[in-house]
């Protein structure tokens, strides 16, 4: 029997075929999950094209900075999935480009607020809306982070602060939602060639450096993050919550 047969997954943050969210969607669908994707208005064409590749996948517009649109998206998901969601994937992150180009000390109040709102608070906002749809039978909430939450990665700047807030939110949500058998975890993936990553100066050189320094002597692929997400979303991970799982070919254990 497929690992996720009969399970229903709502995925936020797919932008194109290189998105980590898309790799996760493919892994979940391959194991029997029914899917629904959200999209930002400017990404609608790309998301609809990807959704069409997985029969039965629903799509809905959602700006995660809007409570009204979040309410509408979860209401649509509830209607699509008969008031039940088993899996919520949060693959959402953004900081204004200037905040990643300028020195960190020049971070603006507006840029700081935007990065934290979209990249961290949105997980809390989604979890709040997912809980009523999960608490009768439990569920899994999964987000994506990066090791810049713990170590300085030049030019990652305020996005690193947002990832630190995101990881702390994972722990608090795991604690509070555990009584409903809802698990909350994060994957800390190595550098991948995504739309968001290409906005970070020096990304290419860092990816090359990681590939030579990681214990496995290579970079990771999107599908490997998808497989880890599949595990964390399935009953095989039923006793795992509040964790940050590294999927980076071991790079995070290295010192010099």
| Cβ pair 185, 170 in contact under 8 A | yes
A 10 A CB-CB count for 98 gives 12
- Which one from 39, 156, 172, 251 is the annotated catalytic residue? 156
Is 146 tagged catalytic? yes
CATH level 2 (architecture), domain 8-247: 3-Layer(aba) Sandwich (3.40)
Q: DSSP character for 117?
A: I
Query: In Å, how far are 10, 28, 68, 115 from 75, measured between CA atoms?
Result: 12, 22, 11, 26
pLDDT at 63: 97
The C-alpha torsion from 255 through 144 and 181 to 117, rounded to 10°, is 120
3-state secondary structure 36-87: EEEECHHHHHHHHHHHCCCCCCEEEECCCCCHHHHHHHHHHHHHHCCCCCCE
What pLDDT is stored for residue 199 in this prediction? Answer: 56
Give the model's pLDDT for residue 195: 56
Rounded CA-CA distance 220/210 in Å is: 10
| Maximum CA extent, the chain | 54
Residue 193: the pLDDT is 72
What digits encode the pLDDT tens for the residues 82-132? 999 999 999 999 999 999 999 999 999 999 999 999 999 999 999 999 999
Low-confidence ranges of the chain (pLDDT < 50): none
pTM: 0.95
Respond yes or no: is residue 156 known to be catalytic: yes
DSSP β-bridge partners for residue 141: 88, 184
- Among 39, 121, 146, 251, which one carries the catalytic annotation? 146
Q: What percent of the chain has pLDDT over 70?
A: 96
pLDDT at residue 201 in the model: 60
């Amino acid at each position: 029997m497929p690992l996720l047969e009969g399970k229903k997954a709502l995925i936020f943050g797919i932008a194109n075929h290189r998105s980590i969210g898309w790799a996760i969607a493919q892994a979940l669908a391959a194991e029997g999950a029914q899917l629904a994707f959200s999209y930002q208005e400017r990404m609608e064409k790309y998301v609809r094209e990807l959704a069409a590749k997985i029969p039965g996948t629903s799509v809905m517009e959602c700006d995660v900075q809007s409570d009204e649109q979040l309410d509408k998206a979860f209401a649509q998901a509830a209607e699509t999935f008969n008031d039940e969601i088993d899996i919520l994937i949060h693959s959402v992150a953004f900081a204004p480009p200037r905040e990643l180009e300028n020195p960190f000390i020049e971070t603006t109040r507006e840029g700081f607020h935007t990065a934290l709102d979209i990249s961290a608070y949105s997980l809390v906002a989604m979890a709040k809306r997912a809980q009523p749809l999960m608490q009768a039978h439990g569920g899994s909430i999964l987000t994506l982070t990066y090791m810049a939450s713990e170590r300085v990665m030049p030019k990652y700047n305020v996005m690193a602060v947002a990832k630190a807030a995101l990881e702390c939110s994972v722990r608090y949500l795991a604690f509070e939602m555990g009584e409903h058998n809802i698990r909350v975890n994060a994957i800390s993936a190595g550098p991948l060639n995504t739309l968001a990553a290409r906005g970070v100066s020096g990304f290419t050189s860092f990816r090359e450096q990681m590939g030579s320094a990681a214990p496995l002597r290579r970079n990771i692929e999107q599908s490997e993050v998808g497989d880890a997400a599949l595990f964390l979303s399935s009953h095989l991970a039923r006793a795992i919550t509040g964790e940050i799982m590294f999927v980076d070919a071991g790079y995070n254990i290295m010192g010099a």
